Structure 1
Amino acid sequence: MGRAQEKNQRLGEQAQRFCLRSKTYRECFENLFVQQYATVHRLETNKLKNVAMFFAHVLATDALPWCVLANVSLTEEDTTSSSRIFLKILFQELSEQMGMRALNEKLQDPTMEETFESIFPKDHPKNMRFSIDFFTSIGLGDITEKLRQLLIKRQRINR
């Protein structure tokens, strides 16, 4: 692990402690996620990577509530190349830290379905395909299995 990764790991651990200690801190980090995601297009690639890894840590440890991901709309129209890079790093890091099985269980949790509906959109086949293609291209296609089944079902109905 390089020095930058070690520093990022330490910052993530400190943020984790703050979030677990106080609701006020947790809310600040929730707001910070929203702000950072909204301005991710302004970050150079290295900073973008560090921010994504930082938030992956606090999410993976459940120090930050996963509801912050409701602010992410994963469609072609709503993402930029920077936001897609951010999401790629975020989800790959979540997969690495949690393991693919635990990540998939979290994303398929019925109580969290509303939170993730903008990441796994069901409104239009084009948006469904975009999400499926995005996760498949970053090596995490398994987490879209439910969305794939729904898309196939809709295509059969529309024939």
Structure 2
Amino acid sequence: MSSVDFEEAGHKLAEIKLEPAQEMELCIMLLECCSQERTYLPYYGLLAQRLCLINKVYRKNFEKCFAKQYSMIDRLDTNKLGNVANFFAHLLATDALPWHVLAYIRLTEEDTTSSSRIFIKILFHELSDHLGIRQLNKRLSDPKMKDYFDSIFLMDHPKNTRFWINFFTSIGLGGITETLREYLQTMPAMQQQKSESSSDESGRNPNKWWK
């Protein structure tokens, strides 16, 4: 399947008058077909991007798909998980999907699993590949978009802050944590001691879970 195929498919689908429920079914079907492939095929992301540009309703539908897929990410095997992460990374990188969907992700030890961490790892690696680490960092640091990312870059407690810093550093994306590392260094000593105490009690090394 080539870029010509997705252009033609998008044009034909746009000409079909679908009911609202059918539009959602189309999004679900496209994502399901993408997940079933042995490896990720850009065709699906390009077609979804085309649909989002043609009609804003598809942006809303794929946002719902993102939320649903992430909520049931533990049900996907590694292959499907990777395809789905690549699919949504393409839509985000091309701004076909609004970045506020990332608010569905809460990156803490308690709120993530092995599967969700792998999904986040692939998603952000693909975003870095699409945009470049400098542009990605700029996007994530944009004050106008800060609220979208607060649930990922939590600063409510040193333990949570250290968790995502360690996570992104361990997957080779430590560059996007520099600003928030500075924040961590300014935290009161008592809070840092509390975080270290909590980490010791858990008796686990968070760095190994997503490798």
TM range (shorter): over 0.9
Conserved? CA contact 2:38–2:79, under 8 Å? no
Which of 153, 157, 163 is the aligned partner of 1:130?
Answer: 163
Q: Structure 2 regions of 5+ residues with no counterpart?
A: 1-36, 193-211
Normalising by structure 2, what TM-score? 0.71
Conserved? CA contact 2:158–2:191, under 8 Å? no
Instruction: Using the TM superposition, name which of 72-81 and 16-25 deviates more.
Output: 16-25
- The one-letter amino acid of 2:169's match is T
Which of 59, 62, 70 is the aligned partner of 2:92?
Answer: 59
Question: Residue 146 of structure 1: SS of its match in structure 2?
Answer: helix
Tell me if 1:148 matches 2:184.
Answer: no
Match of 2:109 in 1: 76
Larger radius of gyration: 2
Question: Residue 121 of structure 1: SS of its match in structure 2?
Answer: coil
Which of 18, 29, 41 is the aligned partner of 1:8?
Answer: 41
Q: Structure 1 regions of 5+ residues with no counterpart?
A: none
CA-to-aligned-CA distance 1:25-48 (integer Å, 9 cap, x gap): 110000000000111100000000
* Counterparts of 2:113 and 2:54, CA distance in 1: 34
Q: How many residues align?
A: 156
Normalising by structure 1, what TM-score? 0.93
Give the drift of 1:157: 8.2
Give the drift of 1:155: 3.9
* Counterparts of 2:48 and 2:169, CA distance in 1: 30
Change (3 A) 1:97 1:4: farther
- The one-letter amino acid of 2:93's match is A
Match of 2:123 in 1: 90
Give the drift of 1:8: 2.3
Question: Residue 186 of structure 2: SS of its match in structure 1?
Answer: helix
Q: How does 1:107-122 map to 2 (within 5 A)?
A: 107-122=140-155
Greater relative CO (CA pairs within 8 A, separation 6+): 1
CA RMSD of aligned residues (A): 1.6
- The one-letter amino acid of 2:136's match is L
* Counterparts of 2:113 and 2:191, CA distance in 1: 31
